[in-house]
Every structure is written in C-alpha cells, then in structure tokens.
Structure 1
C-alpha cells in the first residue's frame, strides 16, 4: 500500500521532452458526451471484468470498477473505467498479448507516470488502466469513487462540473484531456475533503 504522503501528492509533471503517451498514433477523442447514470454500466463492468479475468487468470491481481460510471447517480461519459493491477505493469508481454487476443488495444504507455498503461475495448467501450501493486493513483481512484458514493453534495458538485466542462470543451472544439483540465480544480477540492475524512492529512 502506498504511504499517506504518496497518496495525497499528485504527480502533475509532464513527460520527458519529445515523449508521447499515445501508442501507434492513437487519437484523442473530441465531442465529449456526458450521459445520465445508467444502471447497466455495472453489468457492463461485470462483463468486461469476466473478459479480463478470463484472459489473464491469476495474473489479474485486482480488477476494480472506478471512475464516474462506478458511482450511482453521477453523470458520465459512457465508457467504463477499470483499474487492473498486475505484478508488473512494465512487463507488457505478461498481459498485453492475452488482452489483445480478447479484443483490447494498447493505446497509452506512460513510464513517467506510475508506469501507467491503458488499453481500450471499443466493442465494450472501456478504458482498462494497468498498474503495478501499490500504485498511489489506483488507490486515489478507489478513494474518490467511494467518497462520491457516500457524499451526495460532492457527487452533485462533481456532476455539475462535468457537464459544464463538457459543454465548454465541446464549444471550443477541445479534446478529452482539455475537458479533464477544465474540471480539475473541482476534482482536487473533492479529493482534499476525501483525504481529510480518511485521516490522510
């Protein structure tokens, strides 16, 4: 498990000069679409979880539904975010070929940011985020999800921020990373309350 200091410290440093996280020319999505919460998202997570565990068996140490689709009542992009923990996210040969055979495509590789990898499955719209054990970011994802499930005021605040960010980003023709930046201040404010409630600060 990461330390409290690691959990509450965000790594916002950019990648090395000239680096790109995008694999094989993957494109950033535009036209950010936010939908009302759909109870079927939980069923889709279960379907993708089964697919991942079937592909990796014991190599899938943890498979968690995270992000906004994991929070009942919260509007979200209708793409399931899943955190997958494997023994070593840098050892791509240990998991990428098996996931590719199951329909996933490696889209993101970020060695400078917690050795994060992300695969997409367009048939079952999913972002599969891959981490090594003890990742502070994966821990934050679970904390944020659980806080929003139990804090209706922050859930409503975040839902409003998401809708406003999507509207502004779409009007400006921005991509999804710019949408994320537009809501970051609200996200960090909510994290601060979640950290305090958990006794991390």
Structure 2
C-alpha cells in the first residue's frame, strides 16, 4: 500500500512531552481483562476519530493470550496523513488521552493513568504490518512467545532510566522473532 502524500512537512525531531520518565517496570501474568479494556478504548478512539481512523488494532504483549506483560494496553491506529494532526490529535486529547511523543511518522498518546498507549501511524506505514506480524506470530508460536517473555524477565532484572531504553534492549530479540514470522508467513523480503 502506498503512503498518501503528506499535506505538510513532517516533524524532524523527537519530542518527548514531559521528558524522560523513570517508571517501575514489572511483568504480570496474562490478564483475561486486557482484551475487554482494549475494546473499550477501541470504541473510545473510533468515537473520537470517526472517519479519521483507518485501522485500530490491539498490539503488544497484552494482545497475546498467555504472555506475561507490563500491564499497559498498546493500541495502534492508522490515519490517512500523520502530518495532519488537526484530523486526529485534538479529538484524541478531547477524548481524554495525553500527548507523550511526537516524532517522524509516529505520535503516541496515552491515558493519564499511563495504562494505555495509543501509537498513531500514517496509513501504509510498514510499522503497522510489523506490529501485526509480531503479534500474530507470538499468538501462534509458543517457543517464540516463551523466548520473548524470558527476554523481558531477564531485562527487567536491570534498572532502566526510561521505558524507551528498555524497549530498545528488546529490539534484537524482536527482530529475530519478526524474521522467523516473516519466513513462516512468506512475507520475508
């Protein structure tokens, strides 16, 4: 799918609203309530964005039954034009979300209680497909699901100054899992 031509230049820097936050990171066992919480937020987002939201999906560890996770619901939303923030950002802020990250090709809003993260991407962004590929593979492959959970458990024995640093530390394992997922689904380059 081709990305639509942006209406204006994209942001060039990463803006981390509120700066780096040191947060206690801990895994909890899979919670059967997570899919319902996602559905509540899916409705909230759809109501706020109406036609602006192209796709809304539950991603991240809380979207994988049986996988221990930080109790944060991750949601990915695609919009026609990520640069046209007036089409989606104000509506999400009015719906009670708070802007956390503005960076090239990606915005992140979250709940004030920090338990839901909404990643916003432009329609056609390959990152969307990568999120779905990883989610679906972890749902289907118990060995990679166990590897990912173990990796998170090991990493969480360390102190992290920021959630972004923790996320970056998982990137090598995630890349390997995505490569296996792409081979399994025939989507490898």
The two structures have a TM-score, normalised by structure 2, of 0.89
Of residues 157, 167, 190 in structure 1, which corresponds to 2:177? 190
* Number of the residue aligned with 1:162: 152
* Number of the residue aligned with 1:52: 45
Q: Runs (4+) of structure 1 moved beyond 4 Å?
A: none
C-alpha RMSD over aligned residues: 1.7
Structure 1 counterpart SS, 2:57: strand
* Number of the residue aligned with 1:177: 164
Number of residue equivalences: 180
* Number of the residue aligned with 2:7: none
Alignment CA distance shift 1:177-1:123 (3 Å) = closer
Alignment CA distance shift 1:138-1:28 (3 Å) = farther
Gaps in structure 2 of 5+ consecutive residues: 3-10
* Number of the residue aligned with 1:20: 14
Question: 8 Å contact 1:63–1:82 — kept in the other structure?
Answer: yes
The two structures have a TM-score, normalised by structure 1, of 0.84
Question: 8 Å contact 2:20–2:162 — kept in the other structure?
Answer: no
Gaps in structure 1 of 5+ consecutive residues: 3-14
Aligned-partner Cα distance in 1 for 2:134–2:67: 13
1:107 pairs with 2:97: no
Deviation at 1:31, TM superposition (A): 1.9
Structure 2 counterpart SS, 1:167: coil
Aligned-partner Cα distance in 2 for 1:85–1:177: 22
Deviations 1:100-154 (A, max 9, x none): 111011111112xxx1111011347211011111111111000000000000000
